[in-house]
Structure formats: structure tokens, C-alpha cells
């Protein structure tokens, strides 16, 4: 297998099966980083809300408002479907070939873990928090399928199936510190320390009809090094208004990679084993977010966010001998990387219910991706979310949320001369979180 194809097969991105067939651009949905159940419930419009431990990622200034030591544990399950319309091509008079491609994948993992310790300094409330989460999760499992039949050989098509599994990912250990400088203004900072590695395994099977013509295995293990910071601020001039801002610094670091390839013979023994290594330099760009929180009533919050990731500045150098390429694409696609701009809205209604409190949430988001479609239009993912939070006591909070995402755009066709192809993306995300508060240490 050529180096270029191996590299395309095994990129870091979560929609890895698309990369198996290099005529298609990769999918970057999960590079719009987001964590936390309440944030997702409110469409990820969370920069000015930031009132739980996931604030260490969204806006660390929000941690200053926590008044008790807390423990947070979040779980995430995600399913993705990616389909391309059936394509056809006339090879000669009255002879046609067809092409079909689709994949499905799922992810189950601990999404966020954090603990906090409030304290007082210079008679002002402060909070220290320790968090763990995954920057790029590798744990997707699924299957991609490519079928190329012809009109005269419809029942014996050329079929390529890729089954992929992943484990772990690029782990982040985050240290956060926040302080309420005044009753109206708070600041915070988070240092993200990258550690751990992601492992991906692929099995590619080629068949013609019922006959297997090839079976290939690949495994990629990668590790990123370094650290960066998140800075945040919150300003609450009125009870009904809060403004928030956050900035994620970029990262210039080393990316180590080990790629193993092998085949199998008729007896199932490994053959043609090959190991390739890479020590690349990667640049992950900075991002910033602005947020607004309005409280038109004591029981209602409405939030809005605008964020931008400077992906046009992302690059990777010397990745398996390549020159400087866009990161995270890792290939010179005809349409370059784009700046990612996200627009998000959310709402939360708090409803007293007997001896416990119930929060009902909803949100909408328009998240752009970092590459353009065939017509040079940025791909946009529409997301709709809803969720609830149930505070059973002053100590225990349980939250759940569900989000539905979809996008449609045009791609280059499989055949060299082909009309544009309609592409469809769908995803469902379910999240569950538990927060335990150990008791007040500050007077309200």
C-alpha cells in the first residue's frame, strides 16, 4: 500500500472511514470541541453561562462562582451516519458503472471528569479545579462500505468494507484557577496538559461477489505533546445580564506516530508486515468565544455564543515524509481549510417541583466545518438539543441531554467525469452527568 494511501486511511479524525476512500474529503464534526451535558442541552451556548465544572473548558472564570467542593462525572454516547447518493458513469455505449458509499460509527466514553476546591484569598472567593477529558477521542467503532457494480455485472460488484475500532485518545489533564475580582467581575485560567495516545485499528476486505480478493490490516498509534492555556472572563453588570469571553491559545507541538500494516495468507498467517514511524510538527490554531446570558425572569435564562477557530493557520510538517500540509486534513485537498465560525443559542427554564428542582433546557447551533464543499461553500452542521437537570437535593444533581445533528452538501463524484454528489450527514448524541456537592463553605 502506498504511503499516501496509508496516511489517508489513518488520520486522526473521528470520521475515519471516509478517509479510506480518498476521493472524499474527511469529516471534521468533532473539531468543534464541546464538553458537558448542560452545555450541550443549551446548544453549546455556554461561554457566558459557565456555571458548572465544565467551565474549566468553556470559560474558567465561571468556576469562581462555585461555593462548594464539587465532583462532576459525564458520560457520552454518539452515533454518526454518512451517506452519498448513488452515482453512475457511462464507460462506453450502453455500458454503465455505479458507485455507492456509506458508513456508520458509534462512540461510548467518559466525556468529562472534574473536582473542585473553593477557597478564599484576599477576602475574595476563588476556586481551584482539576479536570480530565479527551481532546480528540479515538474510541469510535464502525464500518464503511464502498460498492462499485456495473450494469452487466450487478450481482458481482467490487465491494470494499473497512471495519475500524479505536481506543483511548489524546487525553487532557487540566488545572484551573478562578477568582471573583469584584462582585460583578471574575477571571480564570486553565492549563491543558496533553498526555496519553490514541490507537486505531482497521481491517479492509475487498470482494468481488462472494469471493474475497484481499484482506489487509492496519494499526496506527499516535501521541501529541505539549500544553496550552484557556483564559476567561465574566462580567455581570446587572442581575439580568452576564457577558463572557474566552480564549484558547494555540499549540505548537510534536506528534509521534507509528503505523503498522500487514496482510494475511490463505492460512490466516500475517504476511508483508511493515512498520513506519513519523515525528511530525503540528500547529493547532487558537480560538476565541464571546457569550451573552439574559435573565428576563427569575426562572428563565437565555444564552447566545459566537466562536471562531483559526483553522487556516493549522499545519502539520514532516508527517510520514510529507511537506507542510493543512492540519488536521493532512492532505492537499483542492479546497483549502476554512476558518470555523459557530453560532449557538440556548435556554433554560427552572421549575420548582415538590421537594426538588427541575431544569428544562433547549438549544440550537450552526457549526461550520473547516473545509469547503465542492462548490467552495463551507459545510454547516445544524444541531437541535434538549435536556433536563434534576436537583434532588442541595448535594445531588442528575442531568441528561440529547442532540440531533444534520448537514447536506455537494461533493466531487467518484468518477473522473461526474456530476456533483449529494452528501448527507446525520448524528445523534446522548449524554448523562452526575454532580455531587459536598457542602457549602461560603455564606451566600
Strand partners, 243: 235, 292
Is 262 a member of any domain? yes
Examine residue 341 and state whether it is found in any structural domain, yes or no.
yes
Residues 53-82 as b/e (b if ≥16 CB within 10 A, e otherwise) read: bbbbbbbbbbbbbbbbbbebbbbbebbbeb
Within a domain: 442? no
Q: What range defines the domain where residue 13 resides?
A: 3-437
63 phi and psi angles, rounded to 5 deg: -65, -25
Res 269: pLDDT: 80
Q: Residue 91 — very low, low, confident or very high, per pLDDT cuts 50/70/90?
A: low
The mean pLDDT value for 199-207 works out to 84
Q: For the chain, how many structural domains are there in total?
A: 1
User: Percent of the chain at pLDDT above 90?
Assistant: 42
pTM of the model: 0.87
437: which residues sit within 8 A by CB, 6+ positions away? 68, 69, 70, 394, 395, 396, 397
Would you say 50 and 232 are in contact if contact means Cβ atoms under 8 Å apart?
Answer: yes
CA distance linking residue 422 with residue 336, whole number of Å: 20
240 within some domain = yes
Radius of gyration, CA atoms only, the chain = 24
Q: Are 374 and 354 in contact (CB under 8 A)?
A: no
Strand-pair category, 251-264 with 270-284 = antiparallel
Write the DSSP assignment of 4-31 as a string of letters: HHHHHHT-SSS-HHHHHSTTS----GGG
234 part of a folded domain: yes
- pLDDT at 21 (0 to 100): 39
DSSP 151-198: TT-TTS-EEEEEEEEEEEEEEEEEEEEEEESSSSEEEEEEEEEEE-EE
CATH of the domain at 211: 2.40.160.60
Question: Which segment, 51-55, 121-125, 144-148, 200-204, is predicted with the most confidence on average?
Answer: 51-55
Task: Judge whether residue 4 has pLDDT over 70.
Answer: no
In a domain, 443, yes or no: no
Amino acid at each position: 500500500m502506498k504511503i499516501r494511501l496509508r496516511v489517508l486511511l489513518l488520520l486522526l479524525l473521528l470520521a475515519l472511514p471516509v478517509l479510506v476512500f480518498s476521493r472524499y474529503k474527511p469529516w471534521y464534526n468533532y473539531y468543534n470541541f464541546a464538553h458537558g451535558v448542560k452545555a450541550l442541552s443549551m446548544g453549546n451556548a455556554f461561554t457566558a453561562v459557565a456555571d458548572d465544572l465544565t467551565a474549566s473548558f468553556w470559560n474558567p472564570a465561571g468556576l469562581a462562582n462555585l461555593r462548594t467542593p464539587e465532583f462532576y462525572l459525564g458520560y457520552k454516547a454518539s452515533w454518526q451516519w454518512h451517506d452519498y447518493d448513488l452515482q453512475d458513469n457511462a464507460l462506453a455505449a450502453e455500458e454503465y458503472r455505479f458507485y455507492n458509499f456509506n458508513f456508520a460509527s458509534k462512540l461510548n466514553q467518559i466525556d468529562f471528569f472534574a473536582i473542585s476546591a473553593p477557597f478564599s484569598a484576599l477576602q475574595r472567593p476563588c476556586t481551584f479545579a482539576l479536570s480530565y477529558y479527551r481532546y480528540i477521542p479515538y474510541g469510535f467503532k464502525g464500518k464503511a462500505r464502498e460498492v462499485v457494480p456495473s450494469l452487466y455485472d450487478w450481482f458481482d460488484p467490487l465491494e470494499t468494507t473497512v471495519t475500524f475500532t479505536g481506543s483511548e485518545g489524546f487525553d487532557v489533564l487540566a488545572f484551573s484557577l478562578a477568582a471573583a475580582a469584584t462582585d460583578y467581575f471574575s477571571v480564570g485560567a486553565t492549563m491543558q496538559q496533553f498526555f496519553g495516545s490514541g490507537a486505531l485499528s482497521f481491517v479492509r476486505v475487498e470482494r468481488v461477489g462472494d469471493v474475497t480478493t484481499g484482506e489487509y490490516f492496519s494499526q496506527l498509534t499516535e501521541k501529541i505533546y505539549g500544553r496550552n492555556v484557556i483564559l476567561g472572563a465574566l462580567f455581570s453588570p446587572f442581575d439580568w445580564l452576564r457577558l463572557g469571553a474566552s480564549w484558547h491559545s494555540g499549540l505548537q507541538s510534536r506528534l509521534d506516530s507509528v503505523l503498522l500494516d500487514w496482510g494475511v495468507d490463505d492460512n490466516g498467517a500475517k504476511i508483508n508486515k511493515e512498520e513506519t514511524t513519523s515525528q511530525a510538527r503540528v500547529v493547532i490554531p487558537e480560538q476565541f468565544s464571546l457569550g451573552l446570558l439574559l435573565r428576563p425572569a427569575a426562572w428563565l435564562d437565555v444564552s447566545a455564543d459566537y466562536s471562531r477557530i483559526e483553522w487556516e493557520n493549522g499545519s502539520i510538517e514532516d508527517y510520514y515524509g510529507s511537506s507542510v500540509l493543512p492540519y488536521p486534513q493532512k492532505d492537499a485537498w483542492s479546497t483549502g481549510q476554512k476558518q470555523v465560525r459557530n453560532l449557538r443559542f440556548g435556554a433554560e427554564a427552572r421549575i420548582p417541583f415538590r421537594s426538588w428542582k427541575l431544569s428544562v433546557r433547549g438549544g440550537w447551533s450552526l457549526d461550520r466545518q473547516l473545509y469547503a464543499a465542492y462548490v467552495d461553500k463551507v459545510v454547516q452542521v445544524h444541531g437541535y438539543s434538549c435536556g433536563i437537570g434534576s436537583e434532588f437535593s442541595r448535594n445531588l444533581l442528575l442531568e441528561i441531554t440529547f442532540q440531533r445533528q444534520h448537514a447536506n452538501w455537494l461533493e466531487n463524484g467518484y468518477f473522473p467525469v461526474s456530476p456533483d454528489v449529494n452528501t448527507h450527514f446525520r448524528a445523534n448524541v446522548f449524554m448523562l452527568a452526575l454532580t455531587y456537592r459536598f457542602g457549602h463553605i461560603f455564606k451566600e
